[in-house]
Amino acid sequence: MARLAAVLAPAAPGGSEPAALRAMLAVAAVNTTVAALPRAAAWCADADLWDQAADDALRPALAGELLRVVAPSPLLPRVAAGGADLDGCPVRAGDRLVLVARHAARAHSDPPDARHPAPPAVAQLVFGAGAHACPGARLARAQLDDTLAALAPYRPTVLHARADRSAALPGWRTLTVRATEGRAPGVER
């Protein structure tokens, strides 16, 4: 709870963020909890990234990389601020756009790697940028970092995964994992 309080605390003593904004961040964490954490854990298992997850120095970068590829909010609605040409498609100021966050962040071509992470500006794209940046990005990274730290000693593997095709956010209806190493404190095997 102390970690959550620290993440949600004002940026500086006497900071201007109202308590309501901090509470909103806690509620907004549902996207990360429901959509990103299970998918990131499954990706970690499938790609055998548990060594990076277990490394305290690499884990924050891995959390960012996994969030880049699983994109907690996969679609970002935007309005074009100015005219441009996007790969031969004209865009006028005021046009409404839907950005596919994981494609903008090159998730389809660059797998997560804490040793060679995407540039920060690219990784941030899944959380939006500028005035529309997700205020919960820091919280999402902290949640995933904590989840990876908790799972890494057990190096879970995915036994069964079934997509939840009726959910608004990409996620699993069921995700069954099994520990392959380690044990919970105080539990004998």
Is 126 within 8 Å of 72 (Cβ atoms)?
yes
Tokens of 20: 């309501």
Please tell me the predicted confidence (pLDDT) of residue 64. 94
Please tell me the predicted confidence (pLDDT) of residue 157. 93
pLDDT digits (tens, 9 = 90+) for 41-58: 999 999 999 999 999 999
Residues of the chain with pLDDT under 70: 1-29, 182-189
Beta strands 157-163 and 84-86, pairing class? unpaired
What is the pTM for the complete model shown?
Answer: 0.77
Please tell me the predicted confidence (pLDDT) of residue 48. 94
Please tell me the predicted confidence (pLDDT) of residue 73. 81
